[in-house]
Homo-oligomer: A and B are copies of this chain.
Amino acid sequence: MKSAAKATQAEDSAETSTQLIRDSIRVAIVERRLSPGTKLSENDVGNLFNVSRTLARAALQALSYEGLVSVAKNRGAFVAYPSPDEARQIFAARRLVEPGILREAAARITPDDISQLKQLLLEEGRLMSERGQTARRAEIKASGDFHLRLAEISGNAIMQRFMEELVARSSLVIALYGQSTVSSCGHSEHGDIIAAIEGDELDRACRLMLHHIAHIEADLDLRERKSLGLKEAFEL
């Protein structure tokens, strides 16, 4: 792992408490151990991490800013439950920025980076063949990490942070609206993109990326299901 957040804020090892809680919850959300709508009470979070409500609250507020949890005044924090419209916006945003990130990344990529990416792919493939929840979760994370790694290579810390947010929220959307049991990302598509980068076929790489994102989105069933309507819920 290269140093990531170095340019933005020099934060040695620091801000342990709040940051740690925030990251823990975020990872839990990305790996879908926490489902959309789950209540995150300040008390419970605090107890879980052995800190006071103050820090738990700070962590939840930060997550709310990232769009991963939604806080309702006087009612508490919940794992975000993105609406279909929000979901569309998330993917629209990804279509908008990822080709650009890819271009910047391709311009600065080193052979070392490429081998690291391939390593990631291998890992992903390995996990895909395994059974079990933990493997599934690790796979989900790995497939997101591919996109994140690309952003990191691009060298733009701002875009990197933005992509982190988008990937995390995408995971929520897929958890909610994904239908196929198949893995979150078409694994082979990641490989194709790397190949295109290696071959200096930048335009093709971008096209592949757009296809890839469209592919993920196509697997969603973005229909407003507001409580399923009570009638539809019971009439078989």
A residues in contact (CB < 8 Å) with B = 7-9, 11, 14-15, 58, 61-62, 64-65, 67, 70-71, 73, 83, 85-86, 89-90, 92-93, 96-97, 100-101, 104, 155-159, 162, 166
Contacts and interface: CB of A to CB of B under 8 A. Distances in A.
B7 A85 contact: yes
A8 to B, nearest CB: 7
27 contacts: A7-B83, A7-B85, A7-B89, A8-B67, A8-B86, A9-B64, A9-B70, A9-B71, A11-B73, A14-B73, A15-B73, A62-B65, A65-B65, A67-B158, A89-B155, A89-B157, A89-B158, A89-B159, A92-B104, A93-B156, A93-B158, A93-B159, A96-B101, A96-B104, A96-B156, A96-B159, A97-B100
Nearest to A100: B96
Q: How many copies does the complex hold?
A: 2
A85 B10 CA distance: 14
Contacts of A100: 96-97, 100
- Choose among A7, A14, A157, A162 the residue with the greatest number of B CB atoms under 10 Å from its CB: A162
A166 B162 CA distance: 11
A97 B163 CA distance: 12
B158 A90 contact: yes
A118 to B, nearest CB: 26
Q: Which 9 A-B pairs have the closest CB atoms?
A: A96-B100, A93-B158, A89-B156, A14-B73, A89-B158, A65-B65, A93-B159, A92-B156, A7-B85
Nearest to A9: B70
Contacts of A162: 93, 162
Nearest to A15: B73
A73 B11 CA distance: 8
Contacts of A93: 156, 158-159, 162
A24 B73 CA distance: 21
